[in-house]
């Protein structure tokens, strides 16, 4: 979804043909529309994300095709610079970094960036990396491939992540953890972030905020914030805009009933 939109945009600018292989009916419309608008050749398959990834791996063995998702090490090298920006902004690495965990490229890349910056003396510490998977699509948490992953958070609806091994190593090395959040917790976090911080993100991004809330209060949390020192710095990655995948909230909005075009009617509807 997000990767295909970006790949299509950069390919259009560079004059390169872009092909997007995706599972039919499993990609958020906002993301699919971006790839289409940028002129990508879109191929839908009868299967899920993992089936599409398997085909892409085979296609990548051909000399005239290059894979640009997180299988490509150049993709990880580009993503890791986001960790540089965080350190530059904060003056050091955070104590904890919370991310949604789907294909696992983001967590892998951030950890690589933090380690590289510390290695050259730009930061003094490394954060604990905490990844949050949707309860219905949690292969890393359960340590097994999920054949039919399901969640409203389309960007992390993945049963066999491409960067599974690297992300697992990053979590272990950083003394972090992987935990689960339910679809209900994801949507609640999405609404909370929009209504309290003015930040509207897609459900997959809201998984990081749902994870934050779970760490703050839930007894079942794999990593309880009750154990961390006061003043600890916590970073949550919430990069996907809500308009990319609005379906979860569209169903909650309901029908808007119009009132007469009169001031008193509007005031009455406002309860004033």
Instruction: Check residue 229 and give its pLDDT.
Output: 86
Do 59 and 86 reside in the same domain of the chain? no
| Full domain range(s) for residue 11 | 2-69
Do 79 and 63 reside in the same domain of the chain? no
Higher pLDDT, 73 or 197: 197
Do 148 and 217 reside in the same domain of the chain? yes
In the predicted structure, residue 251 carries a pLDDT above the cut 90: no
Rounded to two decimals, the pTM is 0.89
Q: Are 185 and 112 in contact (CB under 8 A)?
A: no
Number of domains in the chain: 2
Instruction: Check residue 253 and give its pLDDT.
Output: 82
Q: How confident is the model at residue 71 (pLDDT cuts 50, 70, 90)?
A: confident
Do 17 and 115 reside in the same domain of the chain? no
Q: How confident is the model at residue 29 (pLDDT cuts 50, 70, 90)?
A: confident
Q: How confident is the model at residue 262 (pLDDT cuts 50, 70, 90)?
A: very high
In a domain, 132, yes or no: yes
Query: Mean of the pLDDT values across residues 42-48?
Result: 91
Residue 18, domain CATH: 3.40.50.1100
Instruction: Check residue 227 and give its pLDDT.
Output: 79
In a domain, 265, yes or no: no
Q: Among residues 21, 36, 69, which one ends one of the domains?
A: 69
Instruction: Check residue 23 and give its pLDDT.
Output: 87
Do 120 and 242 reside in the same domain of the chain? yes
Q: How confident is the model at residue 254 (pLDDT cuts 50, 70, 90)?
A: confident
């Amino acid at each position: 979804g997000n990767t295909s939109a970006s790949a299509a945009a950069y390919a259009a600018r560079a004059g390169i043909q872009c092909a997007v292989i995706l599972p039919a009916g499993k990609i958020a419309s906002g993301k699919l529309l971006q790839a289409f608008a940028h002129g990508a050749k879109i191929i839908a398959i009868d299967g899920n994300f993992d089936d599409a990834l398997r085909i892409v791996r085979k296609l990548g063995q051909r000399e005239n095709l290059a894979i640009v998702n997180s299988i490509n090490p150049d993709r990880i090298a580009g993503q890791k610079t986001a960790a540089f920006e965080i350190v530059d902004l904060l003056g050091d690495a955070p104590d904890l970094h919370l991310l949604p965990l789907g294909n696992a490229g983001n967590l892998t890349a951030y950890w690589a960036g933090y380690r590289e910056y510390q290695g050259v003396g730009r930061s003094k510490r490394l954060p604990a990396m905490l990844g949050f998977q949707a309860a219905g699509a949690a292969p890393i948490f359960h340590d097994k491939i999920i054949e039919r992953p399901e969640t409203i958070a389309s960007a992390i609806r993945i049963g066999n992540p491409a960067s599974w091994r690297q992300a697992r190593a990053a979590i272990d090395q950083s003394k972090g953890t992987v935990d689960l959040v339910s679809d209900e917790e994801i949507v609640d976090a999405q609404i909370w972030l929009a209504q309290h911080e003015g930040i509207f993100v897609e459900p997959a991004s809201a998984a990081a905020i749902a994870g934050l809330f779970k760490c703050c209060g839930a007894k079942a949390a794999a990593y309880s914030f009750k154990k961390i020192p006061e003043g600890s710095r916590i970073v949550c990655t919430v990069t996907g805009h809500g308009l990319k995948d609005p379906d979860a909230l569209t169903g909650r909005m309901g029908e808007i009933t119009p009132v007469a075009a009169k001031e008193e009617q509007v005031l009455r509807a406002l309860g004033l």
